[in-house]
Amino acid sequence: MAALPERARELIDARNFATVATIQPDGGPQTSVVWVKRDGDDILFSTIKSRRKYANLVADPRISVLVTEAGDAYRYAEIRGHAVMTDDPRADLIDELAHKYTGAAFDLPPGQQRVVVRVIPAHVVVYEE
Q: Regarding the domain with residue range 6-128, which homologous superfamily does it belong to in the CATH classification?
A: Electron Transport, Fmn-binding Protein; Chain A (2.30.110.10)
**Which string of b and e fits 101-115 if b means at least 16 CB within 10 Å?**
eeeeebeeeeeeebb
Longest dimension (CA), the chain: 44
Structure confidence at residue 111 as a pLDDT band (50, 70, 90): confident
| Residue with more model confidence, 110 or 13 | 13
Q: Angle at Cα 57 formed by Cα 24 and Cα 40, nearest 5°?
A: 135
Instruction: Give yes or no for residue 3 having a pLDDT over 90.
Output: yes
Delimit the domains of the chain by residue range. 6-128
CA distance 129 to 112: 41
